[in-house]
Structure 1
Amino acid sequence: MPLLRRLAVTLLLITAPIASLAQSEPSVIGVRAMLATWSDPIEALGTLRADESVTLSATVTDIIAEINFQDGQRVAEGDTLIRLRDAEEQARLRAAQSLRDERRNALGRASELQNRNLAARADVEDSQSRVDQAEADIAALRARLEDYRLTAPFSGRVGTRNVSPGALVTPGMELITLDKLDVMKLDFSVPETYLGRLAPGLSLSATTAAYPDAVFNGEIASLGTRVDPVTRSIGVRAEIDNADEKLRPGMLMEVVVRQQSRQSVVVPEAAVQPNGNRHYVMLIDDHDSAPRLRQQSVELGERRAGEVEINQGLAANDIVVVHGLQRARDGQAVRLIGLLDEDTDVRDLLEADR
């Protein structure tokens, strides 16, 4: 029995350092600090407007004779969309043209007589004045006839119509909307404290609940000239390409303005450990055969989804612990399971290590 006890104690003394060594080398997963393009985001909510938008209405009282478009149709600049009944105005125009022709003939006869010294020069001048008056009357009638035609002032897409041929319209009555949708204006406001960081040409991205998986890119076109004294914000207008016409005026969009673009060292947020007002990462020194940890103080910059900017303390390609920090200690030897990248996640590495 004493001999067996001595053997058991000896085995315990031998296995204790091995167990201690196994416990002192926890398994961790690392990630390389990457050098990436970074910009401080400014977030806001904005409303879309068409690049050009107009509601066409009548300027005279009459009956609709023709409607030359379908709901939602694309039209070109100058296309006649609605024609009002203009028979009376056309008759007045023909009468004015006949009177002009008559006065032109009279002017010709007076000029011929004056060339033969058979008429006074004043008669010719009076005839010329009457011709000019007839031309002015014709121009006025033609201009009035334009009021009986509603034409597209620019190329775009019409909305739905709420009138029909035969309907009586009056001045100011809204007949049809027309929007230019190939480029959209996005209006939003930001606090005045950002004014010094904004300028025309800054890029931005916007999303909308209508297309949750799509991101629409654009750039700032102009800044407002006044700061709202109540909200202390300034208006910003951006332009977004909309060649496929997915976006519509009035839509609400979440805007992220990318400003102060720079190259920064970036690591996942999960790799950073806070301690009071300071932050640390566990740097993996893999130059030796046994990787060893070193607690490294870092200075953080801005944050974005799942990532944090490192201003000081790390360099690109440094390896830090991103999984297994609970058991990681400064100066400790570790077993590095693998490194995260775009094609590998924590679960893949853990399953491969089983």
Structure 2
Amino acid sequence: MPDSSILVLIVSPCMGGYGGLESFVLAVADGVAADPNIRVKIIFKKTRDFLPQDHLLNKIELSGLQVSFCSRSSLELWREIQSADLVHLQNPCPDVATMARLAGKPLLINIINHTKGGGRLHQRVWKLCLHLAHQRFYISNFVRKTWELSETPWKNSQVIFPICKLSDLDPLPFGERKGFLFLARWVENKGLDTLVEAYANSGLDPDRWPLRLLGDGPLRSKISARVTELGLKGVVMPGFMSEQEKAEWIRRSRFVVIPPNTSEDFGLVAIEARRLGLPCLITRDGGLPEAAGRYCLDCEPADVNGLKQLLLQAAAMNEAEYISLASGAHKSLEDELVKPEFYAQVYANMIQDHSPKNNIKNLI
């Protein structure tokens, strides 16, 4: 008896490491794979500087999903697209978008990164490829507006927060939480240097309000030297840790501080914090306010004094104010995230709506 299930091909550019994009792709595929009517295959399309890393390979092996790697614009990629019933592409890569439409396949594009616009040929081509999609999902309204340049979405465009693997730990009781936590790669424009200066200027009691700096990166020596130079007590720098350890550190804190100055596309750390019951102190940077939700405190990016005032405002909250903010951040998250089965329904609807007459001449 022939297989009546549909084959969905999820295609994503990949540099070889395991980051937010790879995590999203695996999470979507894992959720959809539970549907007996859908078969899922993942193609990680190798970028020019592709270098496979053990972290990604281990995650793929643990997932149990069907995953392969191929080169861009390759015959192998074309054959995989031809064999699929639907193509789900991450970012509007011209080779995949064009192949999918030439092959007559329904095309869903998730747009993960913002664009700076401009008249460069590369940017014009990628924007043109947005029109090849039958459906477009943007990670944030900030990202959508950089591409569509309009306050209202184009037809067949939506803002859908990313599916991600979140901790299954429960939030800790409010009285067991303590201090501030920063979690990001230690690189320029993530606001770590701004946070260290703001914390130093705040004069907060380091015993009651410690600052935990999680993560690692090129700025470690610079930040460590600055902490020593300022004589800061209460600053803890534990370095890299497992997902389980990270979740435990988050839920034992009172606030998560996310102060980038880099046109952040979204802000996954804010989602992780809210899942564990923590409100966020953020900068109004890119799509981050959307991820942090309305139950947060915010200031302008790269503003040491503004961030200092946020720390002081947070520390001055009485228990009732804190509980209201933290509970709101946690409870409102459920209404903002889609479940993994959401994509199974999207795929089924797109297959049903798709007509063989749709081709490269019938653009949306």
Largest Rg, 1 or 2: 1
Q: Which of the two has greater strand per residue? A: 1
Q: Normalization by structure 1: what TM-score?
A: 0.18
Q: Normalization by structure 2: what TM-score?
A: 0.18
